[in-house]
Amino acid sequence: MATNEYEVDGLKMMEELTINAHQVQEQVLGEILKRNAETEYLKGFLNGQSGKQLFKNNVPVVTYEDIKPYVDRIANGEPSDILLAEPVIEFHRSSGTSGGQPKLIPATVELSKKMAVFHTLSASVLNKHFGDLNRAGKSMELMFVKPEIETPSGLKARSVTTSLFKDNGFRNILPMLYTSPIETILCLDINQSMYCQLLVGLIQRDEVVRIGSIFASTLLRAINFIEDHWKELCSNIKTGYLSDRITDSGCKNALSLIMKPDPELADSIENICGCRSWEGIIRKLWPKAKYIGAVTTGVMRQYTTALDFYSGGLPLVSSFYGCSEAICGINLEPLDKPADVSYTILPNMAYFEFLPVKKHRVSMTQEVQFNGVSEQESIEMNSNNEDIEPVDLVNVKLGQFYELVVTTFTGLYRYRVRDILMVTGFHNNTPQFRFVERENVILSVDADKTSEADLLKAVTEAKTLLEPLGFILTAYTSYGDMSSTPGHYVLFWELKVKEDNDNKELDPKMMAECCSRMEESLNYTYKIYRQQNAIAPLEIRVVKQGTFDALMDYYVSQGASMNQYKAPSCIKSKEALKILDSRVIGKFFSLKTPL
Ligand code: AMP
C-alpha cells in the first residue's frame, strides 16, 4: 500500500513509463538526436539529420575505444559539441576493476536530473515494501570518495559516486537520513573513513533502520573491519575519546560533536562482538534495521553466503542496475533473493538496444529456470556481435541473452556496455533482465573459454561441500596459470570458519573434491581438453583471511573507487597475482578427470 504522496507519484510514474515503454523510448531517441545532430560525431554518420531510421542504418555500434578520441579531445580543451550539444561539466571515471581500465564518461546537468528521477522511483519502490524508513530512522550507508583528477582543460574527472557525495543537495539531506557525517565520507584515507563511519554507525545503532553500501563487497569489508577493530571501537565509545589513529582533522571535528562517554553502549556492543560465532551480527548490532541494501547480483553474488550468515535473516536488497554510462534498471521486487533478482529497464533514462548474444550450440549445456522459463544456457563469449543487428527494448525475447547497448544524453551513441543480460519477464510492456555477467572477463588456458557466469556456477556448486563442515567461502577469483605445460585453472579462495575455532583444519580430501566438483561443472570444451590432458588439473589455492581486502586495497591504490569496486573474476595483473600468491596457505588439486 502506498504510504505518502511522494511514493504514489513514484509508483504512478513507474507504471506510466513501463506501460508506454515504446513511446517513451521513441521520445528519448528523438530528443537525443534532435539535440545532438549537429555534433561532429553524429554529423559524420547522419549529415545533420535526426531521423531514427537513419540513425539505425548509419550510426555504428561502438565500444569505448571508438569514442575515446573524442573524449580525449574534450578533456584536452576542445569544445564539448564535437560529441554532444550540452556542455560537459565533468567526467565520470568508471571503476574499471571488473575488466579493463577506468574510462572517462562525459557528464552533464541533464544527468543530475535523471539521477533525481531515479531516486524518486527507487524510493517509492522501497517505501512500498518497507514503509517510509526516512521517517523511522537513519541509514548506515558506507560511502567513500576518491581523489579527483583534473583534465588539461580544467574539467574534473571523478567517480560518479564521488560526484554524488560532493553534491550540495546530497550534503543537505545527509544529516537527516544517514549516520555518517560528510567529513567522514570525504576523508580520503579509506581506513580512517571506514573506522569513523562504523564508529558513528555504532553510536547511533538504535536509530539505524537500514544498512548499506553500493556494492556488497564494501559491506563485507566493513564487517571484516569491525571484526578486527571492535575492541578499539568499544573503548572509544566507552571513554568518549577518539583513537589517535584518526588524524584526519575533518573526521576528528565531526566525531567530537557526536562522541561522549557511554560505557553502557560500549558494554552491550562488546557483549555482542565477543560471542564465539558472528552469525547474525548485523541484526544484533543494529536491531532496528529492516534490510541490507547493496548490489548482490553479478560478481557480487559471491558475497551473499557470507552476508546471509552475518545478516541474521535481514533481506538483502539489490535495488538497481546501472553504470557510469547510464542508470539502466530498477528491481521492482526488493525482497527477491539475489539469485532471483531481475531489473526492469527504465525507458526514460537512455535509449536502450540489445545485441543478441549467439548461443554456443554444443552438446554440453546447462538448464536454467527463470520465472518458469527454461533456457539452455551456454553463451559464446566475444561472438562476432558486429554482424548482428541490435533489437529495441520492447522487441527482446523472453529467455534470450543480450549485450546492452546504450545511447545517452551524454554523448554515447550505440555504445556497448559489455554487460550480458537475460530476459526473465516483462513488467507491463517493459522487459526485465537478470544480470548474467561482464562480457569481457574470460578465464582460458587453451581453446577453452570460461565466462564469469560459468565460473560462478562452478564455484557455487563446489562450495556447498564445505558449508556443512562449518566453512564459508567469503571471496574468490581465478587465474589461468600457463607457467607450466599444459596450463591449468587456479582458483583463489578465502574461507571463514563459522564458529571462532582456530583449530579447524581443512580436509585435503574434501578440498580435492571441491576441485573436481568445479571441473565437473565447467563447460564441455574444458572437460574435453582435460580428458585429453591439454589442460592440467584445476587447483584451489586457499588464501589467508584479509587477502581479498588487500586485493581491494591494491585496486583502489591503482585508481578504482572503493564504492564501485568489483573484485575481478579473473586476475590478469601480475601485481594482483603477487598479492594473492604471497598469502596462500594451502594448495589443492583435482584428483579426477571430469566426465
Ligand atoms: P562502473 O563502470 O564503475 O559504473 O560499474 C558499472 C558496472 O557494474 C556495470 O556495467 C555492471 O557490470 C556492474 N553492475 C552495476 N550494477 C549491477 C548490478 N545490479 N548487478 C550486477 N552488476 C552490476
Task: Kindly write down the DSSP assignment for every residue of 126-160, as one continuous string.
Answer: HHHHH--HHHH-EEEE-------EE-TTS-EEE-H
Please state the φ and ψ torsions of residue 139, each to the nearest 5 degrees: -100, 135
| pLDDT at site 501 | 60
301 lines ligand 1 (CB under 6 A): no
With CA atoms as reference, report the closest residue to 201 among 253, 237, 240, 247: 237
**Residue 295 in contact with ligand 1 by CB distance below 6 A:** yes
Per the CB < 8 A criterion, the answer to whether 328 and 352 are in contact is yes
The residue contributing the CA closest to ligand 1 atom 9 is 323
Q: How far is the CA of 561 from the centre of ligand 1 (A)?
A: 13
In sequence order, the 6+-apart residues with CB closer than 8 A to the CB of 388 are 355, 356, 358
Please provide residue 126's backbone torsions phi and psi, each rounded to the nearest 5 degrees: -70, -40
Is residue 322 within 6 Å of ligand 1 at its C-beta? yes
Instruction: Select from 101, 321, 562 the residue to mutate for testing ligand 1; criterion: most ligand atoms less than 8 Å from CB.
Output: 321
Q: Look at residue 439 in the predicted model and tell me its pLDDT.
A: 82
CA 322 to ligand 1 centroid distance, Å: 6
Count CA within 13 A, CB hemisphere, residue 90. 21
Max intra-chain CA distance, the chain: 72
Find out whether 292 and 311 touch, Cβ atoms under 8 Å: yes
Low-confidence ranges of the chain (pLDDT < 70): 1-7, 95-101, 359-387, 500-503
Does the Cβ of 74 fall within 6 Å of ligand 1? no
Atom of ligand 1 minimally distant from the CA of 564? 3
* pLDDT at position 71: 96
Q: How many alpha carbons fall within 13 Å on the CB side of residue 378? A: 15
Q: Is 564 in the pocket of ligand 1 (CB under 6 A)?
A: yes
Measured from the Cα of 331, ligand 1's closest atom is 19
- Domain chopping of the chain, boundaries: 441-589
Residue 582, Ramachandran bin (φ over 0: left; ψ between -120 and 50: alpha; else beta): alpha
- Nearest atom in ligand 1 to 97's CA: 3
**Is any atom of ligand 1 closer than 6 Å to the C-beta of 477?**
no
**Given ligand 1 and candidates 304, 323, 403, which is best to mutate, with the most ligand atoms within 8 Å of its CB?**
323
pLDDT at 386: 55
Q: What pTM did the predictor assign?
A: 0.88
- Cα of 144 vs centre of ligand 1, distance in Å, is 17
pLDDT digits (tens, 9 = 90+) for 219-261: 999 999 999 999 999 999 999 999 999 999 999 999 999 999 9
What number does the ligand 1 atom closest to the CA of 95 have? 3
With beta carbons less than 8 A apart as the criterion, state whether 385 and 355 touch: yes
* Residue 304 Cβ contacting ligand 1 at under 6 Å: no
pLDDT of residue 154: 95
If you take atom 22 of ligand 1, which residue's CA is the nearest one?
Answer: 298
Cα separations in angstroms, 411 against 59, 68, 160, 407: 13, 11, 16, 8
Compute, in angstroms, the gap from residue 568 CA to the centroid of ligand 1: 12
Q: What does the DSSP 8-state code read for residue 39?
A: S
Residue 351 CA, ligand 1 centroid: distance in Å: 18
Q: Which atom of ligand 1 is nearest to the CA of 98?
A: 12
**pLDDT tens-digit map of 257-302:** 999 999 999 999 999 999 989 999 999 999 999 999 999 999 899 9
Q: Is 435 in the pocket of ligand 1 (CB under 6 A)?
A: yes
Read off the C-alpha cell for 201: 554507525
The pLDDT value recorded for residue 96 is 57
